Structure 1
Amino acid sequence: MSDINAPLSAAELHALFDILTHYETYSEFVDLRYPDTAANVGYPFAKTAKDGSRVHVTKPAAPILHQLLSTFVTEMFALRSLPNTFWSVQVQGIFENLAEANLSESYDKGALGTRKTLCTVFSSILELVARGQLGGVQRQIENTRSLKSNVYDLNRAESLIKAWDDVVQELVYGNLIDELFDHAANVSGNLEEHSPAAEAAVHYIVLHLATILHQVFVVSSEGPYILKLLDNMYKMLPWVMIKQTLRIGNAATMLNGLVKLLLSKLSIGSVSNWIGVTTDADDGMNLMQRIISMTLSWDCSEFKKTADHVKKMKSGPTKEQLAAIDEHIKLSRDEQDRVRGTSISEGKSIVMAILKSQHQSCSISDSEHSALLDYYSARLSIRDREEISRVMCRSKPDLMTQLLRDVMSAYEPMIREVHTKIPLHETMGDVEAFLGEMIETAKGTKSQVATITDFVDLLMRNRSRLYKWMHLIDKECPGPREEFRTWAHNSIREFRRKSASPRPSPAKGYTYGDANGGRGHESYCSGAAGDMSATLSAMFAALPRETRADVRHQIDAHATYLEIINGRSVVHMQNILDCLSARRSSSSLGALDVTSKLRSKISSKASSGAASPAPVRLGSPENGAVSWEASGPGVFLIRWNDLLDETLVTPATQFGPPRVGKDVKQKTSMGKAGTGAKAKEKKLPKGFVEEFEGLKVDGGAVSDIEAPEVGAVLTAMGKEFWQLLASRKNDAQSKVTPVTNFI
């Protein structure tokens, strides 16, 4: 164990930075459920002052979200021309209305819901951006060869990672942005033809994007449900009419037709409001709102079936108990939080806490308790969808429609220029084709769930569509091209280090070196915390000695954890590359040969002491399966699962401690359309778990390790870290004009 008085090493600073940014980013996302959070995020959102004016807070409550919004989003081409009211009225209003709707919690529903799944994945990805912006990208002095002269092996994970690091170096500290724009305009939209490094970096990006899609649509328990929602909306979009409208030669007529098609409301109320007979009649919904409303209403019908089934059970809950559940759902957020807190503190299920708070008998059987949990979950799901539909489709004023109109107005000059040079109906056809392929890929086949390699194939097949569009934009449309180039330069500049690179003590981190023993480049944590290193070191040194000992112990444990999962990420990437290689050669190899070849590769990694891979999926020879699947690459994937695993969930029994997310990862809320598809309609390969049950790597089982406890770190340094971020000067905000009084 490290001396508590010694300065933090590079690995320790890296671990401390990871802990603080990981939980700060997620807490800011979670806090958006409270109505007053959005107004206190800071620019571009605003709060109402005592004199009625709208002002930006100087100390944002969500400094990371504030920094990301003000630096990258609001400065994006076209969006920066939007009026302040777009952000502080339309966007902020939608966030506040959703927060006031008091949507349900995963704890109450007994499962990790769709919002929890999407919130955690966004948080896990954006924390990487936040760390890069706060700490900066470490500059590699020894990178002397050009990207075009380097050689990379597309079948080796270490080589792809090296290529990605080289590309990032040239993007942040070189002139690669201009080179890529010029290449797309003058040579080809195929960025892979720019250099071997660009080609390898594209493969690196594709592997990570495929992993995200696979995790959301296949691995997640909410995957079939999310896929069903996406499929329903995809089928309801009038693709043919949109493409026909985009064919219109006159840009003004085309834009007017597109706005009418997507955003016009046709109802008696809208007509009477327009002619002045009424002023506040329900003016109906536009096409986009109708699609959202119909999709959510179909969901509600499924949940109502679950609730009705519980009501009709012969030996089910009493009418009084069901009424108590219904009454609890109508309570305010504070009252519901109080009941939830009672459930956690007293070690009883949320249903038992509700019955007690409503003065109902708590003497129920286990079957009645299970039925009440299902009923409560279904009723919460119904209310959630009704509230989301109300906010998005039937709110007064209609913030969603005005938001979409403002966005289309902002992009109108760009659309006009692009429309005269590029056949937009073909671009829309490419979008339609890609979404259709993605949905079909995620569904898998009748006998097999989709694998990561299926999503890799999907992205590799369709990347030419993107390259074609990029080439046309860069070659034919100089206005949008230069706007985007400027935004790219300004954005990437945020990742440059503003201070000299620190010289910390040697880091014990996983090094992405040559697999055959060659010298690799610097370890993942050698840059410590970048520009934040000195500040974090001072914060740690200022802690009391006793506190510092506990904090350092947890930092060391987390540093070891990061070392392991970084190593795992490399192994997972290599597993996918091996699988892709095996699929390419499967035409000349039998299923048994492929399976044996890949199993022996895993065994050799185990015997050589390589970092432990996550549980793998292997098609057995008896099934004739030739595809082999491992968990995807990316530390963010493991950190995403950490957030899900830590989520509190109500006990399944009447009394007992709360469960956590890892206990209910394969459980979904009752009545969700599309759920159960993986278990009922798909077959997992035989030996999915059994073939690797006894495999040991690095002296431990293949099963996932748990993230270490970091409560002492957050208690001692979390608030001070937030204050540090909240007090940082924001250049983007300093340039903005004050918000005028529009109330």
Structure 2
Amino acid sequence: MTEPTAGLTAEQSHALFDILTHKETYAEIEAFKLPGAIRTYGPPFQDAATPSTSPVLQTLVSKFALPLPGLRDVNPDFWRVQVEDLIQELAEAELSESYDKGVLGVRKTLATAISALIEYPARGCLGGVEKREVKRREYDVNNAEDVLAAWDDCLQELVYGDLVDELVEKTAETDDLTQHSTLVQGMHEFIVVNLASLMHYTLILSPEGPTLLRMMENANRLIPYVVVRQTLKIGNVATMLSAMMRVILAKVSMASMTNWMGLSTGADEGMNLLEQIISQVLAWDKRDLRQRADKIEKDKSALPKDVRDALMEWVTNASREEHEECRRMSREQDMSIVAVILLLSSGPSVDDLTEAQHAKALEYLSLRLGVRDREEIVRVICHRTPDHLTTLINQCVTAYTPMIRQVHQAVNLSDTMWDFERFVSDMLKMSKPAPDKKGGEARVPTVEDYVDLLHRHQQSTHKFLHQIAKNGKEVVTWWRDYLHKAVSQFRKDGAQPTSSTESSTSKNNNNIHQSLASIFASLPPTEQSEIRTELNSHATYLSNLHAASAARITSVIDRTHSTPYGPGAYLARWQNLLDTTLITPAKADGPVRRGANRGVKAEGRKDVEGNEAGFMAQGEVEKVVDEGIPEAPAVERTLEVFGARFREILGGG
């Protein structure tokens, strides 16, 4: 909870800060689809002289990513050439919009998920964690109230106490979780339940769950686990690293030989193992989409050829500006994207299409856009010359070589890879609906199933961390120092750490709240009243979110199997972003839809022809989501008044 600001109650101030960080975080992530966004990001891609157009993301990267052990030692070209160019080229590729496809695609699903997750550390970093006194007691991991209390108390101990040192020291002593304090055990259970909830939501309830799971399964089949495990057994670190790099990055082609010999320059050298996995997984996905498109093309009555040709021309040859103009016309005139494309083409008229043919045209457009997306991703990542991905991996390995040497001596990495392989295989197998032995409907995995999955494999993680903490003293020192600096970023101004090993305090921004208070105080009374109303509604919404999340974590811990929707307020924020995504009208003349319209299918779900089965029937998904998520209130006036000013407060350009 934030401090009360002048003219606002503590709840209103908290609601205002929540609204603004939620909106700004997603706006910055969404902006990366536009070319040039990365060119004005600021450090580490540019110097600090130019104000960042992504102040929230830039703050998180600067405070938490750049100081990471290993990553802090990469060559500056890692960021300013390789990463920047890849992001820029993906933006220039103009991957398709959910609006055009009429479905919530993988990219939209992942972007909204990332935004919903990182807005919480962003809020904590920008606003600080309020300090309070913690009185340790015994916590029962089978009691939901104790688990929630343990998490809250652990946050305090991490940010203002000595819990980082306590965790490191105890982990060095044992790999047995029960030997840790009940406070740590309660925190661990909170993390397990929330991680299980996220996995369940992503793979089972989210629009692209079946597609994501299929891609993960395909990628897993292509990883040469046996070769990797054997390579990791090599005792000499230098030899092991050299062999591993050959496994992952070796390119065997005539072009690679002629380039190396100087007989050619810039010829496509083919793909290394990682690029082959990316390319093959997307190729399988592309094949499925293309087969469905071919099926429409072969059915002469399904869609006239001139309509298909007009849609293909728009997909392959229309400029970004033309695409944007079509979307604008579609939104403003309540016309489907297909109707607008045909209106602006010199060919057929949408009036000549039946309702069924129009639906096929929307499907055909979606499939062709999906095919193009996958081709562009492969082109940018796997067929680029020079090969930025290979260079990135080489630079990372060089920077992390000192750490790899330490970890190789401290841990049996071959066994660790075996543990990882077993976890992934178990997760993929469990995530598929199990056939009912009595002939009924297949049983869909529950949140409790994912909790059990993590419990089954948690000992592997504990063993790995114990071996590192016990045998890798230098690595532990690097990470302990990093963690002290990381948690200090969440301290309120003026709050002193109790840890004797941490001397510096963070620069959390109480000034942000003061600045927002000043803006509010300067508003006319009528405007203040309007905003107060929105803030009160949003404060109630947040209270309901957290109460619902607490109830669901209680259900999961009590093993009642009564909630199909796991805990975590961030899941509701994620769903809200999906629900508010604009989607093209379903009919030639009709209202613009939103993701909340459950008639909008995801790419991976089953349609009337039996294409691509999903895990839950559309009505079941609707019921689960509607039961689990309070409706977010309208906050347009608040965003109108504070949105741009909030960015200025953060130092955004």
* 1:31 aligned residue: 31
Given that residues 89 and 380 in structure 2 are in contact (C-alpha distance below 8 angstroms), is that contact kept between their aligned partners in structure 1? yes
Deviation at 1:535, TM superposition (A): 2.2
Deviation at 1:460, TM superposition (A): 0.9
**Residue 43 to residue 263, structure 1, CA distance change in 2 (3 Å):** same
Amino acid at match of 2:419: D
Deviation at 1:675, TM superposition (A): 3.7
* 2:575 aligned residue: 641
* 1:495 aligned residue: 490
**Residue 114 to residue 298, structure 1, CA distance change in 2 (3 Å):** same
Distance 2:556 2:611 in 1: 28
* 1:476 aligned residue: 471
- Establish whether residue 676 from structure 1 lines up as the match of residue 613 from structure 2: yes
**Residue 280 to residue 676, structure 1, CA distance change in 2 (3 Å):** same
* 1:183 aligned residue: 170
For residue 629 of structure 1, give the secondary structure of its aligned residue in structure 2: coil
Distance 2:377 2:540 in 1: 42
Distance 2:646 2:464 in 1: 43
> How many pairs were matched up?
626
For residue 558 of structure 2, give the secondary structure of its aligned residue in structure 1: helix
For residue 284 of structure 1, give the secondary structure of its aligned residue in structure 2: coil
After TM superposition, the structure 1 = structure 2 runs for residues 401-420 of structure 1, keeping only pairs within 5 Å, are: 401-420=390-409
Amino acid at match of 1:424: L
Deviations 1:420-475 (A, max 9, x none): 33221111111111111111121131221111000000111111101101110011
**Residue 453 to residue 221, structure 1, CA distance change in 2 (3 Å):** same
Amino acid at match of 1:451: T
* 2:546 aligned residue: 566
Distance 2:495 2:195 in 1: 33
Amino acid at match of 1:547: E
Deviation at 1:500, TM superposition (A): 7.2
- Establish whether residue 256 from structure 1 lines up as the match of residue 219 from structure 2: no
- Establish whether residue 114 from structure 1 lines up as the match of residue 109 from structure 2: no
2:595 to 633, 651, 661: 661
C-alpha RMSD over aligned residues: 2.4
* 1:362 aligned residue: 350
Given that residues 300 and 385 in structure 1 are in contact (C-alpha distance below 8 angstroms), is that contact kept between their aligned partners in structure 2? yes
* 1:603 aligned residue: none
Question: Structure 1: which 5+ residue stretches go unaligned?
Answer: 47-54, 502-528, 583-626, 694-700, 729-743
Deviations 1:111-162 (A, max 9, x none): 1111111111110110000000011111113x2x33xxx1223233222111
Given that residues 111 and 665 in structure 1 are in contact (C-alpha distance below 8 angstroms), is that contact kept between their aligned partners in structure 2? no
Amino acid at match of 1:63: P
Given that residues 650 and 659 in structure 1 are in contact (C-alpha distance below 8 angstroms), is that contact kept between their aligned partners in structure 2? yes
After TM superposition, the structure 1 = structure 2 runs for residues 516-555 of structure 1, keeping only pairs within 5 Å, are: 532-555=512-535
Deviation at 1:575, TM superposition (A): 1.3
**TM norm structure 2:** 0.92
State the 4+ residue runs in structure 1 displaced beyond 6 angstroms.
670-674, 682-685
Q: Which is worse superposed, 360-369 or 231-240?
A: 360-369
After TM superposition, the structure 1 = structure 2 runs for residues 695-714 of structure 1, keeping only pairs within 5 Å, are: 704-714=629-639
Deviation at 1:530, TM superposition (A): 5.8
After TM superposition, the structure 1 = structure 2 runs for residues 138-287 of structure 1, keeping only pairs within 5 Å, are: 138-141=130-133, 143=134, 145-146=135-136, 150-185=137-172, 187-287=173-273
Distance 2:646 2:198 in 1: 29
Deviations 1:611-670 (A, max 9, x none): xxxxxxxxxxxxxxxx54332111111111111110000111111111111114761237
**Residue 99 to residue 684, structure 1, CA distance change in 2 (3 Å):** closer
Given that residues 142 and 558 in structure 2 are in contact (C-alpha distance below 8 angstroms), is that contact kept between their aligned partners in structure 1? yes
* 2:361 aligned residue: 372
Given that residues 498 and 531 in structure 1 are in contact (C-alpha distance below 8 angstroms), is that contact kept between their aligned partners in structure 2? no
* Identity across matched positions, percent: 38
1:71 to 59, 63, 72: 63
Distance 1:19 1:464 in 2: 39
Given that residues 66 and 72 in structure 2 are in contact (C-alpha distance below 8 angstroms), is that contact kept between their aligned partners in structure 1? yes
- Establish whether residue 322 from structure 1 lines up as the match of residue 308 from structure 2: yes
- Establish whether residue 430 from structure 1 lines up as the match of residue 419 from structure 2: yes
**Residue 73 to residue 190, structure 1, CA distance change in 2 (3 Å):** farther
After TM superposition, the structure 1 = structure 2 runs for residues 77-92 of structure 1, keeping only pairs within 5 Å, are: 77-92=69-84
For residue 466 of structure 1, give the secondary structure of its aligned residue in structure 2: helix
- Establish whether residue 467 from structure 1 lines up as the match of residue 468 from structure 2: no
Distance 2:281 2:45 in 1: 30
Deviation at 1:233, TM superposition (A): 0.3
Given that residues 208 and 604 in structure 2 are in contact (C-alpha distance below 8 angstroms), is that contact kept between their aligned partners in structure 1? no
Amino acid at match of 1:399: H
Deviation at 1:269, TM superposition (A): 0.4
Amino acid at match of 1:632: G
- Establish whether residue 717 from structure 1 lines up as the match of residue 651 from structure 2: no
1:651 to 573, 585, 599: 585
Amino acid at match of 2:151: W
Deviations 1:246-296 (A, max 9, x none): 111111111000001001111000001001111121100001101110111
For residue 633 of structure 2, give the secondary structure of its aligned residue in structure 1: coil
For residue 116 of structure 2, give the secondary structure of its aligned residue in structure 1: helix
* 1:351 aligned residue: 338
Given that residues 284 and 394 in structure 1 are in contact (C-alpha distance below 8 angstroms), is that contact kept between their aligned partners in structure 2? yes
For residue 26 of structure 1, give the secondary structure of its aligned residue in structure 2: helix
Amino acid at match of 1:255: L
* 1:600 aligned residue: none
**Residue 167 to residue 325, structure 1, CA distance change in 2 (3 Å):** same
**Residue 215 to residue 721, structure 1, CA distance change in 2 (3 Å):** same
Amino acid at match of 1:315: S
Distance 2:192 2:601 in 1: 29
Given that residues 269 and 284 in structure 1 are in contact (C-alpha distance below 8 angstroms), is that contact kept between their aligned partners in structure 2? yes
Distance 1:401 1:268 in 2: 18
Amino acid at match of 2:613: G
For residue 252 of structure 2, give the secondary structure of its aligned residue in structure 1: coil
Amino acid at match of 1:402: T
Distance 1:420 1:410 in 2: 18
Deviations 1:172-201 (A, max 9, x none): 00111011111111x213455221110011
Higher helix proportion, which one?
Answer: 2
Given that residues 192 and 202 in structure 1 are in contact (C-alpha distance below 8 angstroms), is that contact kept between their aligned partners in structure 2? no
Amino acid at match of 1:676: A
Distance 1:338 1:724 in 2: 33
Given that residues 243 and 428 in structure 1 are in contact (C-alpha distance below 8 angstroms), is that contact kept between their aligned partners in structure 2? yes
Distance 2:30 2:652 in 1: 21
* 1:17 aligned residue: 17
Distance 1:7 1:237 in 2: 59
Deviation at 1:570, TM superposition (A): 0.8
* 1:592 aligned residue: none
Given that residues 208 and 632 in structure 1 are in contact (C-alpha distance below 8 angstroms), is that contact kept between their aligned partners in structure 2? yes
Deviation at 1:64, TM superposition (A): 0.6
Amino acid at match of 1:239: Y
Distance 1:331 1:487 in 2: 48
**Residue 679 to residue 643, structure 1, CA distance change in 2 (3 Å):** closer
Deviations 1:367-388 (A, max 9, x none): 1101100110000000000000
Given that residues 544 and 630 in structure 2 are in contact (C-alpha distance below 8 angstroms), is that contact kept between their aligned partners in structure 1? no
Distance 1:407 1:535 in 2: 40
Distance 2:176 2:325 in 1: 57
